[in-house]
Every structure is written in structure tokens, then in C-alpha cells.
Amino acid sequence: MSDRESLTPRVFLVRHGETEWAKSGRFTGTTEIGLTATGAQQVSSAAATLIGPGRLIDPSRVVRVIVSPRRRAAKTCEILLKDFSSRPTRIWDDVTYTEDIAEWDYGDYEGCTDQEIRNLRKKKGLDLEKEWYIWRDGCEGGESSKQVTERLDRLISQIKDIQRPYMNGEASADVLIVAHGLINRCFVKRWLGFAVDFDLPMIFAPGAVAVLSYKNNDIDKPALHVGVALPLSSDEDSVRGAEQ
């Protein structure tokens, strides 16, 4: 990345590792379910590769960690940061658990697969003219897209308040979020200024990391890193310096 980009505050979105329900395609909102062994390994591998001094997520640059209060997200955060729990780094200074980044509340559809939900709705006489689209239609007994939008916008506003004074690198102001597949994709849409039901196909695998920031160091130009250049290692820095 350019020196200018490296100064701009970033938001790292992490999805929790695999669970049994995620593996079987079941909608998991409020249900407390743990990571599978594979899920824990997914997170450990991401941490070993991406988190650490001089790496993509440098703990010394993270000023806030925001986590869904669901057990699978909290465990993911614990695994991600375990190597820094006893070190004098700011990443542990302020960990916030908030329902604002909890998974979409699926209500009556909790634990169902996509097809089971569609069959249930059609038995009730719903969706006769068009197929169910959660981003638009929400969930019976759960959250609407309006409710999800309101809580995400509230959280985004708080993050911008944290980062606004440091848009040109006056101090580090990265934020790390650990949450869930659907709500993370909703967060991306709202960060970019799109409605939750805007058609923006995205894939967010268990244990994956996405990076958001701002274009031209401008708080009013939220952006998505569609490709992130990893920081140079110390050896690569030395080589580059010798070539200049």
C-alpha cells in the first residue's frame, strides 16, 4: 500500500470460525453455539498470518475491538488476540461487546435452512408474487431490515467519531470487529452508503477478514479495500531501501 493509504484508519471485519449450524447451512442468530475444531483452526491460522507487529492487523494500531456478544464471536476474538493478552498493547484497552453487531435476529427462522424458510413462508401464503429476500423482507418474529440498518448506522457513527480526528495519521485509529456472516455483509453495505437490500453479492467465509477504510483520507468517502497489499517484512524493507 502507499504511504498515504497506510496512514488512513481502517476497520477490520472478521467473521467467526465455522460452527456446526454454519456448516449445515442453518440460520444462526441468537442461538449460542460453539466453534467446531475446524472453526477454531480457521481463526488460529488467520491470527498467525495476519495479526502481529508489522502485519496487516498490527495490535499497536488498533484502538477499539468491537465484538458480538454471541459465544462463537467472543471465542473467535479470544483466539485472535490470545498472543497479546499479556502484552502492553492497546488492543486490549477497550473491548466492547455490543448487540449492535450481533447477527441478524432470525426470529421464527432460527435454526432453519434457506429452503425450509421458503417452504414455511409459502405454506403461510407468503411470497406468492416474489421470492423471500431476507435483506428486504426480514424475518417473522425477528428483525426487519430497518431495525438492522438502525443499529449498524449507530455503530458506524461511533466508529467515525473515533477515527475522524486521525484521517491523516495523526495517531493510529484502526478498529477491529468480530461478528457474523450476514451482519458483516450488512455492515459493508451501510459503510458504503447502500441500503441493506441493495443487490451487492458478497461472500464472507468463516474465519475470513475484510478491510474497510476511506478514500483519499476523507471521512465522507468510506471505501472497501477490494485488494489489500500486505505490509513488507523487515527483510523486504531492507532490500527496497538498498534498491532506492
Q: What is the pLDDT of residues 152-175, one digit of tens each?
A: 999 999 999 999 999 998 999 999
Residue of higher predicted confidence among 235 and 66: 66
Catalytic residue chosen out of the listed positions 16, 18, 143, 180: 16
Going by C-alpha positions, the residue among 123, 118, 125, 177 that lies closest to residue 152 is: 177
Mean pLDDT of the chain: 90
Going by C-alpha positions, the residue among 86, 70, 14 that lies closest to residue 44 is: 14
Residue of higher predicted confidence among 233 and 175: 175
Residue of higher predicted confidence among 82 and 105: 105
Range of the domain at 158: 3-243
DSSP-assigned letter for residue 101: G
- Cell for 69? 456478544
- Cell for 54? 508489522
Taking CA atoms, 64 is separated from 90, 177, 178, in Å, by: 8, 8, 11
Catalytic residue chosen out of the listed positions 5, 18, 20, 103: 103
Band of the pLDDT at 227, cuts 50, 70, 90? confident
Mean pLDDT of 18-27: 96
Given this model, what pLDDT does residue 236 score?
A: 47
Contacts of 220 (CB under 8 A, 6+ apart): none
Mean pLDDT of 65-93: 82
Taking CA atoms, 241 is separated from 30, 70, 231, 237, in Å, by: 51, 46, 15, 6
180 a catalytic residue: no
Here the CATH number for the domain that contains residue 126 is 3.40.50.1240
Amino acid identity of residue 142, one-letter, is G
Q: Model's pTM, two decimal places?
A: 0.90
Planar angle of CA 146, 148, 154, nearest 5 degrees: 100
103 a catalytic residue: yes
What would the pLDDT profile of 39-76 be if each residue is shown by its tens digit? 999 999 999 999 999 899 999 899 999 999 999 999 99
- Cell for 25? 447451512
> Distance between the two ends of the chain, CA-based, in angstroms?
17
DSSP-assigned letter for residue 108: G
Mean pLDDT of 188-195: 98
Number of domains composing the chain: 1
Band of the pLDDT at 229, cuts 50, 70, 90? confident
Band of the pLDDT at 182, cuts 50, 70, 90? very high
